[in-house]
């Protein structure tokens, strides 16, 4: 069988060491059947060339089987709104990676801040529109009458396809789906979201769907996470809920993410939930597990379920021994070496 062709975008800060770790693990799990092409697109690249990626960047990526990304953003060098709208967000949008899957559960040996350890949440975040549409503007800059508008755009196509994806995932798992809204305050977008949810619910009589307001589900994720299974949310709500999900699973160093194009018309992209972590970027202590878990999700997507399972078993064997479970305690290289050794 031919090797899988992966576009590697390490990006900024800890994105570089954690993707290196993830590639090493994925390569070993596949017995070398992985071909990677590295793209240096980052904030430094922006300072050198004036762009986060070349004008034909999207077309270049289109030919790959998948994309593995580290993190983008270094606010001291380039404003975040410039770097993220110049690289990460256009990839998600152009490749219609509309389903962002973010699993939250405790790995063996990881305690997390909650007393409750038994939970397994799959957050499904709408990844291409909503609050991230980029539509808006500012007028009367610098005057007392200044106004800034950020328009959240929700299309029937976009809302229906992410909710359908949520129903399908719920059907495959527990049959329970939590739909996140704020329809008490947002009387257009979220009322629409609730209506489409009810329409689809009629097609999925085997799925029990419960709407939760986003504020209420935040509290529930901390107080009673075991009552949740598949959680579907809009772009911004999903972004916020998945850092909370990361926190209850022990920290951002454990939270993985898959940006999926379900129709496979374009490559999907795999990346940890976390960012470039400028505060620890030079210390060699970034936890690579989130990136390695993301690479396992990539292997699964590429049809390599057996290799993906071996990676997750290796990660679990390592954390069960207390390696990589306490932030800052073990070095990136040591955690990676332990996972590689556990693959044998
Ligand atoms: P962040 O996720 O980079 O860091 C938040 C905190 O978590 C920091 O204290 C950091 O040290 C810690 N942390 C994160 N990942 C860790 C890991 N693997 N191991 C140990 N500790 C870890 O969030 P931020 O500080 O808000 O953002 C920094 C930059 O990254 C910004 O430019 C932001 O826009 C960008 N960002 C990019 C992505 C992405 O590319 N997908 C995601 C989030 C943030
Ligand atoms: C994430 C990140 C991005 C997002 C930022 C960096 C634009 O926080 O992947 O969760 O909000 O989607
Ligand atoms: Mn985020």
- Which architecture, in CATH terms, is 113-248? 3-Layer(aba) Sandwich (3.40)
Ligand minimally distant from the alpha carbon of residue 84: 2
Same fold, 1-99+259-344 and 113-248: yes
> What are the boundaries of each domain within the chain?
1-99+259-344, 113-248
**In a mutational test of the pocket of ligand 1, which residue from 21, 73, 287 has the highest number of ligand atoms less than 8 Å from its CB?**
73
Q: Which residues are identified as catalytic?
A: 132, 182, 215, 239, 243
pLDDT of residue 267: 98
Would you say the CB of residue 239 lies under 6 angstroms from ligand 2?
yes
Distance 32 CA to ligand 3 centre (A): 32
pLDDT of residue 338: 98
Which ligand 1 atom minimizes the distance to the CA of 278?
28
HEC per residue, 280-316: CCCCCCCCCHHHHHHHHHHHHHCCCHHHHHHHHHHHH
Task: Tell me how many degrees the CA angle 11-277-75 measures, rounded to the nearest 5.
Answer: 70
Ligand minimally distant from the alpha carbon of residue 292: 1
Which ligand 2 atom minimizes the distance to the CA of 84?
7
What gap in Å lies between CA 273 and CA 270, rounded to an integer? 10
Q: For ligand 1, atom 38, which residue shows the shortest CA distance?
A: 275
pLDDT by residue, tens only, the chain of 344 residues: 789 999 999 999 999 999 999 999 999 999 999 999 999 999 999 999 999 999 999 999 999 999 999 999 999 999 999 999 999 999 999 999 999 999 999 999 999 999 877 999 999 999 999 999 999 999 999 999 999 999 999 999 999 999 999 999 999 999 999 999 999 999 999 999 999 999 999 999 999 999 999 999 999 999 999 999 999 999 999 999 999 999 999 999 999 999 999 999 999 999 999 999 999 999 999 999 999 999 999 999 999 999 999 999 999 999 999 999 998 999 999 999 999 999 99
CATH topology of domain 1-99+259-344: Isopropylmalate Dehydrogenase (3.40.718)
**In a mutational test of the pocket of ligand 2, which residue from 275, 276, 291, 294 has the highest number of ligand atoms less than 8 Å from its CB?**
275
């Amino acid at each position: 069988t031919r090797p899988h062709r992966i576009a590697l975008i390490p990006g900024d800060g800890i994105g570089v060491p954690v993707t290196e770790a993830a590639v090493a693990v994925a390569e070993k799990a596949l017995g070398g059947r992985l071909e990677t092409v590295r793209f240096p697109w980052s904030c430094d690249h922006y300072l050198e060339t004036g762009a986060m990626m070349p004008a034909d960047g999207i077309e270049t990526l289109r030919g790959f089987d998948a994309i593995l990304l580290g993190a983008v953003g270094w606010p001291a060098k380039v404003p975040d709104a410039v770097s993220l709208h110049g690289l990460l967000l256009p990839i998600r949008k152009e490749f219609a990676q509309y389903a962002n899957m973010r699993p939250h559960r405790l790995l063996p040996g990881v305690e997390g801040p909650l007393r409750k350890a038994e939970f397994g949440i799959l957050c499904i975040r709408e990844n291409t529109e909503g609050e991230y549409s980029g539509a808006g503007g500012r007028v009367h800059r610098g005057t007392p009458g200044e106004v800034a508008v950020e328009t959240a755009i929700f299309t029937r196509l976009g809302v229906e396809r992410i909710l359908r994806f949520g129903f399908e995932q719920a059907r495959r798992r527990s049959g329970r789906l939590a739909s996140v809204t704020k329809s008490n305050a947002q009387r257009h977008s979220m009322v629409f979201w609730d209506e489409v949810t009810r329409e689809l619910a009629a097609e999925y009589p085997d799925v029990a769907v419960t709407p939760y307001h986003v504020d209420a589900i935040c509290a529930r994720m901390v107080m009673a996470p075991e009552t949740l299974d598949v959680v579907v949310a809009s772009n911004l709500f999903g972004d916020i809920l998945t850092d909370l999900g990361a926190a209850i699973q022990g920290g951002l160093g454990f939270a993985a993410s898959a940006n999926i194009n379900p129709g496979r018309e374009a490559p999907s992209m795999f990346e940890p939930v976390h960012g470039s972590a400028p505060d620890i970027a030079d210390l060699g202590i970034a936890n690579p597990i989130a990136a390695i878990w993301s690479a396992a999700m990539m292997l699964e997507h590429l049809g390599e379920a057996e290799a993906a399972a071996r990676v997750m078993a290796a990660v679990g064997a390592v954390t069960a021994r207390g390696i990589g479970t306490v932030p800052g305690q073990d070095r990136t290289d040591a955690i990676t070496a332990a996972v590689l050794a556990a693959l044998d």
